[in-house]
Amino acid sequence: MAATVVSKNKHGADQGTCVHLGNCDIGCDVSARNTLDLNYLYIAENRHHTDVRPLHLVDVIEQLNDGMFRVHFDELKNGERVPGTETGRIVILAAGSLASTELLLRNREVHRTLPKISAALGHHWSANGDFLTPTAYVTRVVRPAAGPTITAAIDFEDGSQGRQQFWIQDGGFPSLAVAYARNKTMDPSASFKAKLVLGALQTLLLSTDPLQGLMPWFAQGVDMGNGILTLTQETPFSEAGKLHLNWESTKSAAVIDAIISMHKRLAAATGGTVLIPPTWTLFRDLITPHPLGGATWVKRPPRASLTKVVTCLVILGCMWLMVPLFHDRWE
């Protein structure tokens, strides 16, 4: 395998060339991906002298009488939590879909420092219609652990497949995922659902080289966006104030089933056999790396989805969160 070539990218950051290590999902070993530290954050720090402070964990955000905001954080330093605060006129909250929502819920309901936040907060959470179908190729070598994780996509946003909108992508996974899955099959403490999924993949995992013939097909689709995030109440068995998702995934079954049907067609056309995760067929459970929404101020559901919109949220997510902090109530 060729060695990476590191050179300055157009923003001046050191960036390597892709050497097909297949670890895109868990962090590129040679910094070949266009991650924010090599573009937006790099420009913010180096051109606009933004003060970026890693390992600062925010908890309380309070609005002061003069309209300013005070943010309380703990700096994680030498194994200790060192408390601190900063005060500013504008707070842009961009802690991701789950953590942004949790922070706002906690500040409204536990710390009571942002009491005016809309009752719509926590609503319209979406799993982005994500679905992954492992597919076994017995007569073909597909090598999913080599090369970038996604290299192509088919766009079905035209509604031609049962009026559902989705994208299909060729997936991949890091080679250590196989070692992890093999260890997990022998772990007696693995959950029942984990054992079910691993059971379905057993024959492949135990073959000499599962990385030759197991490829995951990926998809994202426009789902119902009907998840509701709240904080737990205290019970004799559980703590109060933990983020809880109430999400009826059956309402998104139509788009997921359309995706599975297309995965089956593509697998058959390329000589593969799909292994539909029993966690979906039996329990209607889904997993997403693209959580969306939740930090909502309006009742209108954010129906837009798909990867290209997720990409926009990376940059713009903070802006749609920012607005309501300056208005008393948006509904």
Nearer to ligand SF4, 42 or 166 (CB): 42
Nearer to ligand SF4, 23 or 107 (CB): 23
What would the x/- binding string for ligand SF4 be over residues 145 to 164, using CB under 6 A? --xx----------------
DSSP string, 221-260: E-----BEEEEPPPBTTB-SS-EEEE--GGGGHHHHHHHH
How many Å from the N-terminal Cα to the C-terminal Cα in the chain? Answer: 56
Residue 70 · residue 64 · CB < 8 Å: yes
Taking the complex as a whole, the smallest distance from the CB of residue 76 to ligand FAD amounts, in Å, to 10
With CA atoms as reference, report the closest residue to 37 among 13, 55, 18, 4. Answer: 13
175 is a contact residue toward ligand SF4 (CB under 6 A): no
33 is a contact residue toward ligand SF4 (CB under 6 A): yes
Nearer to ligand SF4, 216 or 293 (CB): 216
Q: Which partner from the list ligand FAD, ligand SF4, none does 94 bind, CB cut-off 5 to 8 Å by kind?
A: ligand FAD
With CA atoms as reference, report the closest residue to 93 among 245, 294, 291. Answer: 294
Among 9, 13, 18, 175, binds ligand SF4 (CB under 6 A): 18
Report DSSP state, residue 37.
Answer: G
CB environment 210-220: b (16+ within 10 A), e (fewer): bbbbbbbbbbb
- φ, ψ (nearest 5 deg) of residue 44: -60, -45
Taking the complex as a whole, the smallest distance from the CB of residue 64 to ligand FAD amounts, in Å, to 20
Nearer to ligand SF4, 96 or 148 (CB): 148
Q: Which partner from the list ligand FAD, ligand SF4, none does 260 bind, CB cut-off 5 to 8 Å by kind?
A: none
Among 24, 58, 60, 245, binds ligand SF4 (CB under 6 A): 24
Q: Helix 306-322 to helix 96-109 angle, to the nearest 10 degrees?
A: 30
Pairing of strands 80-88, 69-77: antiparallel
Taking the complex as a whole, the smallest distance from the CB of residue 314 to ligand FAD amounts, in Å, to 4
- By CB under 6 A, which span of 20-28, 118-126, 181-189, 274-282 interacts with ligand SF4? 20-28
Task: Please give the residue ranges that form the binding site for ligand FAD (CB under 6 A).
Answer: 25, 56-58, 94-96, 99, 103, 150, 289-290, 307, 310-311, 313-314, 317
284 is a contact residue toward ligand SF4 (CB under 6 A): no
Taking the complex as a whole, the smallest distance from the CB of residue 30 to ligand FAD amounts, in Å, to 18
Mention every residue, 6+ apart, whose C-beta is less than 8 A from residue 33. Answer: 24
Taking the complex as a whole, the smallest distance from the CB of residue 169 to ligand SF4 amounts, in Å, to 14
Taking the complex as a whole, the smallest distance from the CB of residue 5 to ligand FAD amounts, in Å, to 23
Q: How many CB atoms lie within 10 A of CB 45?
A: 14
DSSP string, 246-304: E--GGGGHHHHHHHHHHHHHHHHHTT-EE---HHHHHH-----S--B--S--SSS----
Taking the complex as a whole, the smallest distance from the CB of residue 242 to ligand FAD amounts, in Å, to 14
Please state, in angstroms and rounded to a whole number, the distance separating the CA atoms of residues 127 and 220: 9
- By CB under 6 A, which span of 28-36, 41-49, 161-169, 219-227 interacts with ligand SF4? 28-36
Nearer to ligand SF4, 22 or 129 (CB): 22
94 is a contact residue toward ligand SF4 (CB under 6 A): no
Among 9, 11, 13, 30, binds ligand SF4 (CB under 6 A): 30
Q: Which CB contacts under 8 angstroms, 24+ apart, belong to 243-249?
A: 243/98, 243/101, 243/102, 243/105, 245/125, 247/125, 247/127, 249/127, 249/284, 249/285, 249/286
177 is a contact residue toward ligand SF4 (CB under 6 A): no
Which residues make up the interface to ligand SF4 (CB under 6 A)? 18-24, 28, 30, 32-33, 147-148
